[in-house]
A = this chain, B = another copy of it.
């Protein structure tokens, strides 16, 4: 807010010079004068740790600044801040914990590390009296961590709905807009560099789940156990359901959903979900991310931007570097993300309640709808709409039966679907997805 009185040199050790690491190196250099004027910090990346010293790279790092051993960063007394961008969990945990013990401030973009071992690392950070910054771990360039920690600090968070995996959103967007099948869309995402050669972490929903765990832990002040998170990926989404959803006024998105109920129980889940086309989230396309946060004071907010990529993610790392530099210059602040225990405990996924989309392939004979409706009604599941489209490409004597179901607990819905699949008039495994009205 005010004018920095003097410039302080802040030396940074960078572990990892992959896509994001190279972006950090490039952009810190490019905007260094601006950052210095704005913050009073002259950020200097003193050493860079890579796996392979001779590999060709996008950015030019002086040879004597390169190293293959991250311990050199930890042992360098001049280095104040260590940026961890090596990915993975085990080695990254060792790096971060060793850095904290050496009283180095840590900046990381490693969502898997924080989702799986964040509780230990933040406890260690407390003990060592040095902070960890992690804006880049969730939603790329979108400053959602800071927004939750500071901008919305006066709010009880009611719910978060996020499109927080750019790869999955790209795949679903291309299926929707170009009519591609899942496999074609995935191949295209790989060809364009939006998906890894092994896309499992993304398409399984687990990358999004790691981010949802971080957002939920931040919002509710207790660490979410990955075992308490319900995760489904985009790999089972069929073009047919995207088309039916469109006809019913919905888009299909992979959503991370975090929601507290009236008794303070928190659900965290990741699933392909139907989103009303009239909601902004339905228009978030390609590799973009967006996070809708509802707070008890602020109401509905949405934060949108690129969810991955060299430059956007490095924007978040640089923001953290400036925050870390301010901690050095002006002292640490204690705020925002705390296990305050004021509210929140995990909600078993079977008890989570939502609307559902259900697609069946049934015999084209009278009485089928009544049989299905009876099984739903017996479990107190209401039907909000039914569509039985004509002239579809289904086997002779069969027709699709589509239903939108009212709010119901997952357990009741799974039970009903299991019973429905037992009906002799139902030909295939039922297809069903959550519907998020977002109202």
Contact = CB atoms under 8 A, between A and B. Distances in A.
Given A297-B31, A299-B141, A322-B153, A334 B304 contact: no
Query: How many copies of this chain sit in the oligomeric assembly?
Result: 2
Interface in A330-365: 330-342
- Give the 10 A-B CB pairs with smallest separation, nearest first: A143-B151, A154-B318, A37-B340, A301-B305, A298-B315, A141-B298, A302-B304, A297-B315, A4-B334, A2-B334
B332 A2 contact: yes
Interface in A304-326: 304-306, 309, 311-312, 314-316, 318-319, 321-323, 326
Contact of A306 (B142, B299, B338): B299
A305 B280 CA distance: 11
A125 interface: yes
A370 interface: no
A319 B27 contact: no
A152 interface: yes
Interface of A: 1-5, 23, 27-28, 30-31, 33-35, 37-40, 122, 125-126, 131-133, 135, 141-143, 146-147, 149-156, 221, 280, 283-284, 290, 295-306, 309, 311-312, 314-316, 318-319, 321-323, 326, 329-342
Given A221-B37, A302-B305, A331 B332 contact: no
A60 to B, nearest CB: 18
B326 A298 contact: no
Given A150-B319, A150-B322, A298-B311, A2 B40 contact: no
Dominant secondary structure at the A interface: mixed
A337 B1 CA distance: 5
Given A141-B301, A297-B311, A302-B302, A340 B38 contact: yes
Given A35-B153, A143-B151, A155-B315, 20 more contacts: A2-B334, A2-B335, A2-B337, A4-B335, A5-B334, A35-B154, A37-B221, A37-B340, A40-B334, A143-B152, A154-B319, A280-B280, A280-B283, A297-B311, A297-B314, A299-B311, A301-B306, A302-B304, A329-B333, A330-B330
